Amino acid sequence: MAKMPMYQQTVDAIYQDLQTSEQGLTDAQAQARLAQHGRNALNQQKTTSMLQKFIAQFKDFMIIVLLVAALIAGLTGEVVDAVIILIVVVLNAIFGVFQEAKAEEAISALKEMSAPNATVQRDGQILTVKSDELVVGDIVLLEAGDIIPADLRLIDVASLKVEESALTGESVPVEKAAGTLAAADLAIGDRTNMAFMNSNVTYGRATGVVVATGMQTEVGRIAGMIEAADETTTPLQANLTQLGKSLTILILVIAAIVFGMGMWRQAESLIDMLLTAISLAVAAIPEGLPAIVTITLALGTQRMAKRHAIVRKLPAVETLGSTDIIASDKTGTLTQNKMTVEKVYENLDLLDAHSVDFDQENRLAQVMILSNDTKITTDGLAGDPTETALVQYQLDRQYPVERVLADRPRVAEIPFDSERKLMSTVHPLADGRYLIAVKGAPDELLKRVTRVSLNGEINPFSAAQRTMVLNTNHDMATQALRVLAFAYRIVDEVPTEMTSTNVENDLILAGMVGMIDPERPEVAQAVADAKSAGIRPLMITGDHRDTAAAIATRLGIIDKGETDAVITGAELDDMDDDTFAKKVGDYAVYARVAPEHKVRIVNAWQKHGKVVAMTGDGVNDAPALKAADIGIGMGITGTEVSKGASDMVLADDNFSTIVVAVEEGRKVFANIQKAIQYLLSANLGEVLTLFMMTMLGWQILAPVHILWINLVTDTLPAIALGVEPMEKNIMQQKPRGRQSNFFSGGVFGGIVYQGLLEGAITLGVYWLAITYPVHQATQLAHADALTMAFATLGLIQLFHAFNSKSIHGSIFTVGLFKNKFFNWAIVIAFALLAMTILVPGLNSMFHVAHLDGFQWGIVLLASFLMIVIVEIVKFFRRRVLK
């Protein structure tokens, strides 16, 4: 039989179960339990050294392929080739280590949040002990300002309020009580007789018995979920792995065919054919691809940092671009995480808060200020967020708050308690009488109201007016407003007995206010932008259903009245995983959820093949942030736990920055895709050229030719494509999703026909040169033909780089010379290629001949044909796609 939860047990039953009492444990008992169960601390996170991080960079499949290629090249004497490949690989590893050097900080941050000391009762005495020495059964004393050091079952409460937003997602402090709760399976936020580790006492005091410590607490359970979470593979990592495997198979097959055919024809020696096979491998492998991807991602992170999005892991940049779902925590992410007065009900009229002006003698304004425990300090307002919101509202409206407090000092009070839900204070007036200021829950306060203030006159409070006020309260509550009512009475002297019966009766209604944790002003537009980009925004919150639905409606996440799109954590518990997976698309708002619910929601969408981004700022968000394809933490309001579990942190806590990051991610993917199309089509052209030359028995381009072409064309131009400006309408396209890859969207077809075209043009130039030689000597004719083929294969790739500025768009619409880095890359690459032919000494080193003007004209014209033909194909493809 399952053990009954602590919140359902009586205090006596808990004392008996935990073998303790209201006097607390003895010191001997505490020491014995500490030795048996360990300290009240979270598990230390496993860390990795810089060397381990560096070695981990070489586990990528594409990197392994390149290392093998470097080894083969080195063993066959192609030392330069091997060195270049190794340099590329090492640089890639260094980039990765620097970007990911900051180890996962989630669990260590959780530990740092813990309270350093705790006040306990042991041996009947009040002691201060280190919080990590607390044990189950200890009696802990709490007061305002304390960080709760362990999970407690409250046994004595005096007006206690606890701020639990980091754990539950609720922006308003929770009122606590000591009574036993009968309901089963309560969400954390509804366990009002419990206080949880690392939450904060904002008001009142209490005594509680420790029922869980360390990893057994609710925070510890979250830490365990973070620790156990698997690292998700990003779409970029999956794409590169698949690309590496495909290229390896292709390289092996082609090299084997060429080697076999050459040996069968006995046209070349074994060593020559082995070198030819190596040349094919060099031609097929895009050596610069890992570096280009890394550099493109690194540049993307720099641009995003300037726009307040700090990326902790390089692949996260591209992952953003494929995002289908943004699942956002509400408190502090979609909202401002501070209560704000939005509506004022005065003179039986409901007004927008910004349209109300109070004079100093206004009773509603006075009661809001006087029946209030907010402290005005040099660092701002301190106190309960609901009360500070009332004072801040008056300060914003230039109301003389401090003068009123000075003129009307508090001389007596009845503190707030959760049973009567009222607070009353007594203040002297200038005429010698006293003002009793009362605030509280409208339902309770109206029971004590007999009169109402209307435009300065006091009138009897009729039944019709009472109904009107109650209806207004209900209407504000359905809009997710937290409603407080305010009343007063004037007496001749301070009541001798400060009891509710004596003081809180025959009250005059001054009015009501409606408060809310308001949405961030930029979020509604960001939600609209996300929707126009084909991204579905979700709200996931620990707040109540009505509050969540109201905020979601205001933000445009759901339409007004779309209640079927809202589901609570309790309703979610009633569904098994299969049922939820089928219905997950029906819901856009998840209310009153626990941390495991958030992970379950993320996982359900991932099972549908969706790429999920999860935002959050609290401890309760950390497991889902880690489970998501990309976790997005808040830099200002976010806990260190949520930041540590995230792939990206928003430095300005601005939801619209996510849309900016998505835009940047799409740009990064598009540019990597351009570079891949450019590199692989060029490499396919090289492979086709070597393959056909071998099959036709022509003189073959040597490994040094292919290596130099790759060095010249696969580096600077390809990197320059990685920093191409963003194409128009990139945010009006639908997300690529998890199933897409670098070959999607017509890229594979482009690689194939463009590679075939490059090879065909190069072979055509070679055939033309040996068929109609300028020199009559056969040796000279072959030297010219080989040189022209070498020059054409290099130049055609530089011309093709212009085609690659857009996958589908014409080069005349994307800006031919807009990218200055690209322009210089082409100029430098052309100079490096040309000097191997033009500079004496270098041409003999590269086994090429000088070309005359006519031959250069053929090479340039043939190379330029690449742009013309590709532009024609793009034109017809755009017509078909329409």
Residues 505-541: pLDDT tens digits?
999 999 999 999 888 888 899 899 899 989 999 998 8
Task: Please give the Cα distance from 758 to 72 (Å, whole number).
Answer: 27
The answer to whether residue 106 scores a pLDDT higher than 80 is no
Pairing mode, strands 309-311 and 194-195: unpaired
Task: Please give the Cα distance from 757 to 418 (Å, whole number).
Answer: 79
pLDDT digits (tens, 9 = 90+) for 655-674: 788 888 888 888 888 888 89
Task: Please give the Cα distance from 486 to 358 (Å, whole number).
Answer: 15
* pLDDT value for 163: 81
187 DSSP assignment: -
Q: What predicted TM-score, i.e. pTM, was given to this entire model?
A: 0.66
Measured in whole angstroms, how far is the alpha carbon of residue 574 from the centre of its chain? 29
Task: Please give the Cα distance from 517 to 335 (Å, whole number).
Answer: 6
pLDDT digits (tens, 9 = 90+) for 807-865: 888 888 877 788 888 999 999 999 988 888 888 877 777 778 888 888 899 999 999 99
Task: Please give the Cα distance from 596 to 571 (Å, whole number).
Answer: 14
Give me the phi and psi of 115, to 5 degrees please: -70, 140
Task: Please give the Cα distance from 676 to 830 (Å, whole number).
Answer: 20
The H-or-E segment that residue 224 falls in is helix 218-228
Longest dimension (CA), the chain: 126
Burial class from Cβ neighbours inside 10 Å (0-12, 13-18, 19+) for residue 39 reads: middle
Question: Is 329 in the active site?
Answer: yes
The answer to whether residue 321 scores a pLDDT higher than 90 is no
Return mean pLDDT, the chain. 82
Task: Please give the Cα distance from 680 to 209 (Å, whole number).
Answer: 67
Q: Between these two residues, 715 and 241, which has the higher pLDDT value?
A: 715
The answer to whether residue 279 scores a pLDDT higher than 70 is no
* pLDDT value for 112: 46
pLDDT digits (tens, 9 = 90+) for 725-782: 888 878 888 887 776 777 777 888 888 999 999 999 999 999 988 887 765 555 555 6
* pLDDT value for 363: 95
Task: Please give the Cα distance from 36 to 46 (Å, whole number).
Answer: 24
pLDDT, mean of residues 691-715: 76
CA distances from 660 to 317, 388, 644, 649, 666 (A): 11, 34, 22, 13, 10
Strand partners, 568: 591
Task: Please give the Cα distance from 39 to 34 (Å, whole number).
Answer: 6
With bands split at pLDDT 50, 70 and 90, how would you rate the model's confidence at 166?
Answer: low
Task: Please give the Cα distance from 154 to 135 (Å, whole number).
Answer: 16
Q: Tokens for 784?
A: 């010219």
pLDDT digits (tens, 9 = 90+) for 211-251: 999 888 888 887 776 655 555 555 565 666 677 677 767 77
* pLDDT value for 103: 32
3.30.450.20, 3.30.70.360, 2.70.150.10, 3.50.50.60: which CATH number matches 6-44+108-228?
2.70.150.10
As a three-state string, the secondary structure of 322-370 is: CCCEEEEEHHHHHECCCCEEEEEEECCEEEEHHHCCCCCCCHHHHHHHH
The answer to whether residue 137 scores a pLDDT higher than 50 is yes
Burial class from Cβ neighbours inside 10 Å (0-12, 13-18, 19+) for residue 517 reads: buried
If you count them, how many residues does the chain have? 882
CB 272 within 8 A of CB 701: no
Task: Please give the Cα distance from 6 to 415 (Å, whole number).
Answer: 28
**CATH 3.40.1110.10, domain 340-516, yes or no:** yes
Strand partners, 633: 616, 649
Q: Tokens for 432?
A: 């010698």
What whole-number percentage of the chain has pLDDT above 70?
83
Q: Tokens for 163?
A: 């701020």
Strand partners, 329: 540
Task: Please give the Cα distance from 748 to 855 (Å, whole number).
Answer: 33
Q: Tokens for 132?
A: 């990590």
CA distances from 194 to 134, 148, 570 (A): 17, 11, 19
* pLDDT value for 366: 95
pLDDT, mean of residues 67-87: 67
pLDDT, mean of residues 600-606: 90
The answer to whether residue 403 scores a pLDDT higher than 50 is yes
Strand partners, 516: 340
Q: Tokens for 133?
A: 């020495």
The answer to whether residue 473 scores a pLDDT higher than 90 is yes
What whole-number percentage of the chain has pLDDT above 90?
30
Task: Please give the Cα distance from 135 to 861 (Å, whole number).
Answer: 84
Domain range annotation of the chain:
6-44+108-228, 235-308+661-881, 319-336+520-653, 340-516
Expressed in angstroms, the distance from the first to the final Cα of the chain is 65
With bands split at pLDDT 50, 70 and 90, how would you rate the model's confidence at 485?
Answer: very high
The answer to whether residue 1 scores a pLDDT higher than 50 is no
* Fold topology of 235-308+661-881: Calcium-transporting ATPase, transmembrane domain (1.20.1110)
Amino acid at the residue 165: S
For the beta carbon of residue 711, count every other beta carbon within 10 angstroms: 18
CB 54 within 8 A of CB 256: no
Burial class from Cβ neighbours inside 10 Å (0-12, 13-18, 19+) for residue 837 reads: buried
CA distances from 758 to 251, 517, 825, 863 (A): 18, 61, 20, 8
Q: Which residues contact 252 (CB under 8 A, 6 or more apart)?
A: none
Sheet strands side by side (includes 630-634): 309-311, 648-650, 630-634, 612-616, 325-329, 536-540, 589-591, 566-568
With bands split at pLDDT 50, 70 and 90, how would you rate the model's confidence at 253?
Answer: confident
* pLDDT value for 742: 72
Task: Please give the Cα distance from 136 to 154 (Å, whole number).
Answer: 13
Task: Give the dihedral of Cα atoms 78, 82, 83, 86; nearest 10 deg.
Answer: 180
- Of 324, 329, 529, 629, catalytic: 329
* pLDDT value for 508: 96
Instruction: Map tokens 């696969």 to a residue.
Output: 714
Weakest mean pLDDT among 112-121, 129-138, 177-186: 112-121
pLDDT digits (tens, 9 = 90+) for 611-659: 999 887 766 677 788 888 888 887 776 766 677 778 888 877 777 888 8
The answer to whether residue 123 scores a pLDDT higher than 70 is yes
pLDDT, mean of residues 20-37: 89
Task: Please give the Cα distance from 551 to 592 (Å, whole number).
Answer: 14
* pLDDT value for 664: 85
pLDDT digits (tens, 9 = 90+) for 296-316: 777 777 788 888 888 877 777
pLDDT, mean of residues 176-193: 85
Pairing mode, strands 139-143 and 117-122: antiparallel
The H-or-E segment that residue 122 falls in is strand 117-122
Strand partners, 625: none
* pLDDT value for 800: 93
Q: How many CA atoms lie within 13 A of 623 on its CB side?
A: 24
CB 801 within 8 A of CB 712: no
Measured in whole angstroms, how far is the alpha carbon of residue 140 from the centre of its chain? 37
The answer to whether residue 24 scores a pLDDT higher than 80 is yes
* pLDDT value for 365: 95
Task: Please give the Cα distance from 620 to 599 (Å, whole number).
Answer: 10
Task: Give the dihedral of Cα atoms 602, 603, 607, 610; nearest 10 deg.
Answer: 20
Q: Which residues contact 50 (CB under 8 A, 6 or more apart)?
A: 97, 101
Return the percent helix, strand and coil in the chain, to nearest 5.
Answer: 55, 15, 30
* pLDDT value for 291: 67
Start-end of H helices in 479-621: 500-503, 523-532, 545-555, 569-573, 577-583, 595-607
CB 566 within 8 A of CB 540: no
CA distances from 229 to 110, 222, 223, 621, 628 (A): 16, 11, 10, 13, 10
pLDDT digits (tens, 9 = 90+) for 411-463: 999 988 877 889 999 999 999 999 999 999 999 999 999 999 998 899 999 99
Amino acid at the residue 799: F
CB 149 within 8 A of CB 114: yes
pLDDT, mean of residues 165-178: 75
Q: At what angle do helices 703-713 and 79-99 cross, to 10 degrees?
A: 30
* pLDDT value for 104: 40
CB 309 within 8 A of CB 635: no
CATH class of domain segment(s) 319-336+520-653 = alpha beta
Closest residue by Cα to residue 747 from 683, 684, 804: 804
Task: Please give the Cα distance from 802 to 807 (Å, whole number).
Answer: 11
Q: Would you list the DSSP string of 444-492?
A: HHHTTEEEEEETTEEEE--HHHHHHHHHHHHHHHHTTPEEEEEEEEEES
Task: Please give the Cα distance from 415 to 879 (Å, whole number).
Answer: 75
Q: Tokens for 361?
A: 């003698």
Weakest mean pLDDT among 28-32, 157-161, 365-369, 614-618: 614-618
